[in-house]
Amino acid sequence: MTNDEQGPMENLLDGLDQQSDALSSEDLKAELQARGIDIEPFLQQMDEIITAHDKRERLAWMQVADEKKESLRVAETPESQWGDRKPEEIFAAFAVFLKATRGLAFRNRGDLSVEDMAAILEADERLKRGEQSKPADES
């Protein structure tokens, strides 16, 4: 392709290419503006795309968290294991749980109700189920 066959954009880019060392970015912007081309919106758009991409990369752990949450939701059994049991059963199971557990903490605890104990047993049950469903190489 000869120079005669080049379009105005190609000519402009060629010219900029030849002059770019001599021009600052502000001069370049002014030169383009004088020729009726405002690159400010384009630069701003590029900046936004890059910023959004950086943020996505930086916060990639959030997507991992969402995937983990989704896999827990899929694995969830619809019915509660402990909520509908008789209080005597819950008390007995909770006593057994307390003897064995090595990881139980509270926030603002008063006297625990049967519902509280059931929730704790439910949590323990979920952890056990999670343990069982892990692939062998992970456990």
78 part of the interface to other proteins, by CB under 8 A: no
Could you give the CA distance from residue 56 to residue 139 in angstroms, rounded to a whole number?
A: 31
75 part of the interface to other proteins, by CB under 8 A: no
Could you give the CA distance from residue 68 to residue 72 in angstroms, rounded to a whole number?
A: 6
In the bound complex, what is the minimum distance in angstroms from residue 22's beta carbon to other proteins? 38
102 part of the interface to other proteins, by CB under 8 A: yes
101 part of the interface to other proteins, by CB under 8 A: yes
Please list, in sequence order, all residues whose beta carbon lies within 8 angstroms of the beta carbon of residue 83, skipping any fewer than 6 positions away: 115, 118, 122
Calculate the alpha carbon distances from 20 to 13, 35, 78 in Å: 10, 16, 66
Range in contact with other proteins (rule: CB under 8 A) among 6-14, 37-45, 64-72, 85-93: 64-72
108 part of the interface to other proteins, by CB under 8 A: yes
30 part of the interface to other proteins, by CB under 8 A: no
Please list, in sequence order, all residues whose beta carbon lies within 8 angstroms of the beta carbon of residue 81, skipping any fewer than 6 positions away: 121, 122, 125
What does the binding site for other proteins look like in residue numbers (CB under 8 A)? 58-59, 61-62, 64-66, 68-69, 72, 98, 101-113, 115-116, 119-120, 122-124, 126-128, 130-131
